Amino acid sequence: MKRVEQKFWDIPTLRPAAIALGIMLSLSAPQQVFSQSISPTVYYPDDAPPGSGAGTSLTLSPIYVRAAVRGRCGFAAGQTLSWVLNQPNFDVSGFAGSFSFTLDCTGPANVGVVSLNGGLFQNTRLPSGYRNKAPYDVGLQLTGDGGAQASASCEAASLTAGSRSCTLAYGGTGGPQTNFTGPATVGQGLTLNAPSTSGAMSTLVVQAKAYTGSDVLVSGAYQDVLSVTVNAAI
């Protein structure tokens, strides 16, 4: 009796990029289905039954179909991702500003913020009793599909590279006191536990009250740079 060679088809799995959300879909035909509906050995019409010493048979083997779904996670296209806030005499009046952006992630996302200087800073020589860095608070308010939200607030000094603490300079901007220092990774940043594909607006908030520190701020121009990053959370 001539046997037909068994074959196994294995379609290679697509591996998602580092910032993408990978979802594996595996489809297979359970072996018990064959045993209940048809014999695992199929005979051609002119084949002889088993034990007769004659005939040709074809044995079925499971065929596995594997595929992958590549996710995406980033900032939505077509938006300005560079902002400037100017506030004269901020030591007297304080300041407040908010900047909106839109996420485009097919699954949960982490958003992180890094402060370059850890406060408003100017590089200058300091006379005794003066200082050249002023504190301010930073807040994140993230919005995803279906009204999902996440928020947190820390002062800029807690958002320098490598920091994992979270303190507030002026009471925060709302939301839990939770560190969200970037760069965002799978395990770091403020987590929005939902997709964000509907165009909902998220917001970065900065604010400070009039300066009340014991040392006087030296006159001049102060600045800081905030970098916002996004990464898939899973």
pLDDT digits (tens, 9 = 90+) for 182-204: 999 999 999 999 999 999 999 99
Could you give phi then psi for residue 165, rounded to 5 degrees?
-95, 175
pLDDT tens digits for range 92-142: 999 999 999 999 999 999 999 999 999 999 999 899 999 999 999 999 999
CA torsion angle 22 24 25 28 (round to 10):
160
pLDDT attached to residue 158: 98
Determine what percent of the chain is predicted with pLDDT higher than 70: 74
pLDDT attached to residue 64: 86
Q: How confident is the model at residue 82 (pLDDT cuts 50, 70, 90)?
A: confident
pTM of the predicted model over 0.85: no
Q: How confident is the model at residue 54 (pLDDT cuts 50, 70, 90)?
A: low
**Contacting residues for 72 by C-beta, under 8 A, at least 6 apart:** 20, 21, 104, 105, 106
Question: What residue spans define the domains of the chain?
Answer: 1-71, 73-232
Query: Which stretch of 35-39, 148-152, 208-212 has the lowest confidence by average pLDDT?
Result: 35-39
Contact 13, 70 (CB under 8 A): no
